[in-house]
Amino acid sequence: MGQRKNEHYNALVIGAGPGGLVAAAGLAGLGARVGLFEKGRMGGDCLNTGCVPSKAVIASARVAHTMRTAARHGLPAHDPPVDVAAVFARMREVREQIAHHDAPERFESLGVEVFVGAPAVFTSPGTVEANGRTYSADYFVIATGGRPAVPPIPGLRETPHYTNETFFDELDASPGTLCVMGGGPIGIEMAQTMGRLGVRTTLVEMMDQILVMEDADAANVVQDALVADGVEMLTGHMVKSVAAGSPAAGPRAVRVQIEEKASGKTHEREFGALLVAVGRLPNVEQVGLEAAGVAFTRSGVTVDDKLRTANKHIFAVGDVAGSYQFTHFADAQARAVIRNILIPWFPARFNAAVVPWCTYTDPECAHVGHNETTAKAAGLVFGVYRFEMAELDRAVVDGHTEGFVKVIADPKGRLLGATIVGAGAGDWIHEYVLAMKHGITLPGISGTLHAYPTYGEASRRPADLFMKGKLTPTARRVLARRWGRR
């Protein structure tokens, strides 16, 4: 594919993850000659080792959990015999069903020339080399993504372990016991999932709180859910060393030395497998950024508000550009780059102020804008309006009463941020996202009709609390006189 005589392009895109795919398709669809390079698999982390496979196994684990807890719905509970290999086989089938959206043939049909299997490396500010050939372009888009961070823990690199890049491809049977290193989204999603699939799971997190980007009250609801699912939570602990385990414990068994930070006490445990999920690093190496005149740091490629690099003909999007490492964020950045390449005299200045994210545990934890912690750190004047899911009729009838909705707003009711912990939170956080994007205030949300009974109705309740709080003592006295009350 993509082998033509003329090797000059309007735009060359390096990396076929979400950001690169959107940029390539969008530019080609608007008439540009576009080349797309991918050294690995089309679809990037999201399709192959991230969003898609993780949500597929989460779905299976949720079914198993529903069967075990059916008694709360007045039905006979059943503890299903879980075949982890079958669950992961189903995940790979689902991934294959979705993969055609990102296939080379589809992008060739959209007018993109696709080059798969060899890395593209900058050899100058205007050229790259791949497969021993040189390609030039008017513009470039760097979308090389990121990779799992592997900390320098003694014995870790020498001992077989999983990261998200290998977990979904290589796990083919229950490890019996699993140690998850890291209490961020990937770590806690997979810890809960594997616990629900019958694997005795221990999570080790160096900080005293999981999900450190969330308020403690939100993180605590999620942690309680993991504990209820049988996950052993070792927050405030560190992995000090890793070594191969005994053959009887399985082919990927490990011995892990764990230290409690507060006391300094250590103990050693053996697990059937180890999943390392302690963060990600941008793929800035082996791309030839120095030759291209592109500035970068350990955090990623440096870009301005138009997503241009130090070389104004080269843009960067997605995980490699630092900031938020979300598929939808890379998508939004790529759309801005398309406009900035095709209509540079009316540039799109990328604004990351309103970015939703969600951790897909059960209950889900979704967030947009500020939470209490960040609002205080920024010195903002704000009020907190909180509604408990246990007070929502739909949550009660569904048996999903864990969690809350918490809105941060200024004294005039302008939204500064929102956090939702609850069933399907990632779906209905978007009322707040839309409100923040378009300046809709809490009075506007309070005055909006919401269907009953829905989870979306919970979005209105904090707004109602804001309106109730605006009723001044004087207004209360006037109304009391109106009804003959003192």
The pLDDT value given to residue 5? 45
Give the domain CATH number at 398: 3.30.390.30
Task: Tell whether 34 and 125 lie within a shared domain.
Answer: yes
Does residue 365 lie in a domain region? yes
Q: Are 9 and 134 in contact (CB under 8 A)?
A: no
Q: How do the pLDDT tens digits run along the chain, 486 residues long? A: 545 445 899 999 999 999 999 999 999 999 999 999 999 999 999 999 999 999 999 999 999 999 999 999 999 999 999 999 999 999 999 999 999 999 999 999 999 999 999 799 999 999 999 989 999 999 999 999 999 999 999 999 999 999 999 999 999 999 999 999 999 999 999 999 999 999 999 999 999 999 999 999 999 999 999 999 999 999 999 999 999 999 998 999 999 999 999 999 999 999 999 999 999 999 999 999 999 999 999 999 999 999 999 999 999 999 999 888 999 999 999 999 999 999 999 999 988 889 999 999 999 999 999 999 999 999 999 999 999 999 999 999 999 999 999 999 999 999 999 999 999 999 999 999 999 999 999 999 999 999 999 999 999 999 999 999 876 666 566 656 666 665
The tokens for 189 are 């999603």
H/E segment holding residue 446: helix 442-446
The β-bridge partners of 281 are: 147
The tokens for 156 are 């870790």
Task: Tell whether 285 and 401 lie within a shared domain.
Answer: no
Q: Distance (Å, rounded) from C-alpha 354 to C-alpha 65?
A: 34
DSSP state of 471: -
Does residue 239 lie in a domain region? yes
pTM assigned to the model: 0.94
Task: Tell whether 312 and 457 lie within a shared domain.
Answer: no
Side chain identity, residue 243: A
Q: Distance (Å, rounded) from C-alpha 460 to C-alpha 41?
A: 43
Task: Tell whether 35 and 138 lie within a shared domain.
Answer: yes
Q: Are 365 and 230 in contact (CB under 8 A)?
A: no
Q: What angle do CA 65, 402, 434 make, to 5 degrees?
A: 110
Task: Tell whether 323 and 389 lie within a shared domain.
Answer: no
Task: Tell whether 440 and 299 lie within a shared domain.
Answer: no
Does residue 154 lie in a domain region? no
Task: Tell whether 34 and 177 lie within a shared domain.
Answer: no
Does residue 419 lie in a domain region? yes
Does residue 84 lie in a domain region? no
Task: Tell whether 289 and 275 lie within a shared domain.
Answer: no
- Residue 224 structural domain: 164-279
Does residue 336 lie in a domain region? yes
Give the domain CATH number at 336: 3.50.50.60
Does residue 232 lie in a domain region? yes
The pLDDT value given to residue 486? 59
Does residue 71 lie in a domain region? no
Task: Tell whether 315 and 382 lie within a shared domain.
Answer: no
**Of the candidates 279, 301, 329, which is a domain's last residue?**
279
Task: Tell whether 398 and 411 lie within a shared domain.
Answer: yes
Domain count, the chain: 3
The pLDDT value given to residue 469? 87
Neighbours of 292 (CB within 10 A): 23
Task: Tell whether 237 and 300 lie within a shared domain.
Answer: no
Task: Tell whether 26 and 135 lie within a shared domain.
Answer: yes
**Of the candidates 292, 310, 342, which is a domain's last residue?**
342
